[in-house]
Structure 1
Amino acid sequence: MCTGCVQKEYPDRGNTCLDNGSYLMNFLGCANCQQRDFVLISNKTMVDEDEEEIVTYLHKCKNCDHVIARHEYTFTVVDDYQEYTMLCMLCGKAEDSISVMPDDPRQSAPLF
């Protein structure tokens, strides 16, 4: 993908995992046409395989169709947790895990 279009490659986004959209704060502008405009999402696919959902798409320049980055988002359920990941040169890298139970056992305070 294009390192000239982004401020920082694969910025750490903590637990913010996007299955749609673009992180425009990291977009410098198109290295091909030198315009800083909206970023289009194209070639979006969603695949369900082996209990894992994978969403991929391309970030493209609105003006010249230059490919800025490839975005990948995954979702799966492991044991009692929903697991999310995101990897994209523009949007960054992130992971999150959320309990499917009403009370997350990892958040429980010890009684003593």
Structure 2
Amino acid sequence: MCHGCVKEEYPERENMCLDNGSFLRNFAGCAECRKLEIVRIENRKCTEDENGIELVTYQHVCLCCGHIIGQHEYTFKVEGEFQVYQMECILCGNGEDERSILPVDPRGPQLM
């Protein structure tokens, strides 16, 4: 993970959890080649363990020189009556969200 390529390391993204894509607003430019180009996604893998937890991982890579900007991790799991999403990435940030699997959320209406 490259600290020189991002404006802010692991920005707080609240309930935003991405299983694909890049948060380009946080990209300062490649620390290796000094270019500010589109970030490529490489080595995307999706796995599921015996507990039903889905894990998506991939790397953010500089389009020009191949420098690895960061490693992105996204998880999805079901806990009781809720779907839980989590994201951790130096570029895209940290986020966590929880959604009810029931037609009506037992916690009541959620404020945005």
TM bucket by the smaller chain? over 0.9
In structure 1, the partner of 2:43 is: 43
Paired with 1:76 and 1:19, the residues of 2 have a C-alpha distance of: 13
Matched residues in 1 for 2:60 and 2:71: separation?
A: 6
Instruction: Confirm whether residue 79 of structure 1 aligns to residue 80 of structure 2.
Output: yes
Give 5+ residue unaligned stretches, structure 1: none
What is the alpha-carbon distance in structure 1 between the residues aligned to residue 16 and residue 71 of structure 2?
A: 17
Q: Unpaired segments of 5 or more residues in structure 2?
A: none
Aligned-residue sequence identity (percent) comes to 51
1:105 positional shift: 0.9
RMSD: 0.6
Q: 1:69 aligned to 2:70?
A: yes
TM-score when normalising by structure 1 = 0.95
Deviation at residue 94 of structure 1 after TM alignment: 0.5
Query: Which position in structure 2 is the counterpart of 1:56?
Result: 57
1:8-27 matches, within 5 Å, as 8-27=8-27
Displacement of 1:107 after TM fit? 1.6
Q: Which runs of 4+ in 1 moved over 6 A?
A: none
Give, as a single letter, the amino acid of the residue that structure 1 aligns with 2:35: Q
Listed as ranges, the matches of 1:97-112 within 5 Å are 97-107=98-108
How many residue pairs end up in the alignment? Answer: 108
Distance (whole Å) between structure 1 residues aligned to residue 18 and residue 101 of structure 2: 19
Q: Calculate the TM-score normalised by the size of structure 2.
A: 0.95
